[in-house]
Amino acid sequence: MKKIFIAPSILSANFAKLGQEVQEVLLAGSDIIHFDVMDNHYVPNLTFGPMVLKSLREYKITAPIDVHLMIQPVDSIIPSFAKAGANFITFHPETSDNIKNTLSLIKSFGCKSGLAINPGTSLSILDEFMDQIDIILLMSVAPGFSNQKFISSTLNKIYHVRKKIDRCNSNILLEVDGGININNIIEVVSLGVDIVVMGSFIFQSKDYKKTISIIKNKLNVLHI
């Protein structure tokens, strides 16, 4: 059975006790911790920087950390996140002056590299870079804020990106972020998604273990 990775986004966590919350969602069965990094320039919100990631590593968080950079320009911040302990770093094509160079920069630090695609961005941007990326992150909401409604047209994009990956016989991971909950996760995952980012649905629940167990049980029952 295909492994589906659950990646809680700390954008929805309680920052007064961030280390504890991250530890708890991992103990509850999460696989990856997702970092939504925003600069109040490329997107209209401001979140956190490399020191927050470093502090989690110092708190003995050893799980993979997936950094989604919504920052422009992007290259200057990549070394800091890589050195702080990022495992995956994705960025938006629009934020780079030279996408190939940015992908190479990420890889030079030993991190997996990826491209993040906004709802309004054409999938054709991926074609030139399929042999250089490890992750494709499809945004199923407009980037910038948590707790938004899933954009249904993303389902068609998931289908087509999965086809692109399969045609390349590639190990690229397909990730989706935004508005995913227990009511739509099956529809999303059944199209070939590997990593599901879930923020408010997990962090706003009263019992992380119960919530993540419900997610996994639903996926297991349908043999996805």
Instruction: Supply the residues annotated as catalytic.
Output: 36, 177
Annotated binding residue 34: yes
Would you say 36 is a known binding-site residue?
A: yes
Query: Mind spelling out the 3-state secondary structure of 16-68?
Result: HHHHHHHHHHHHCCCCCEEEEEEECCCCCCECCCHHHHHHHHHCCCCCCEEEE
- The response to whether 75 counts as a known ligand-binding position is no
DSSP three-state, residue 98: coil
Is 145 labelled as part of a ligand binding site? yes
Q: Consult the annotation and say whether 190 binds a ligand.
A: no
* Strand order across the 5-8 sheet: 5-8, 195-198, 173-177, 135-139, 112-117, 88-91, 65-70, 33-38
In the 3-class helix/strand/coil scheme, how is 144-200 assigned residue by residue? Answer: CCCCCCCCCCHHHHHHHHHHHHHHCCCCCEEEEECCCCCCCHHHHHCCCCCEEEECH
Provide the 3-class DSSP secondary structure of residue 114. Answer: strand
Residue 147 assigned ligand-binding role: yes
Rounded Cα distance between 66 and 44, Å, is 21
120 is annotated as contributing to ligand binding: no
CA distance 110 to 88: 9
- 223 is known to lie in a ligand binding site: no
Check the annotation: does 179 bind a ligand.
yes
The answer on whether 92 is annotated among ligand-binding residues is no
The reply, when asked if residue 200 is annotated as ligand binding, is: yes
Half-sphere exposure of 10 (CA within 13 A, CB side): 28
The annotated binding site for a divalent metal cation is made up of 34, 36, 68, 177
The annotated binding site is made up of 9, 34, 36, 68, 144-147, 177-179, 199-200
The annotated binding site for substrate is made up of 9, 68, 144-147, 177-179, 199-200
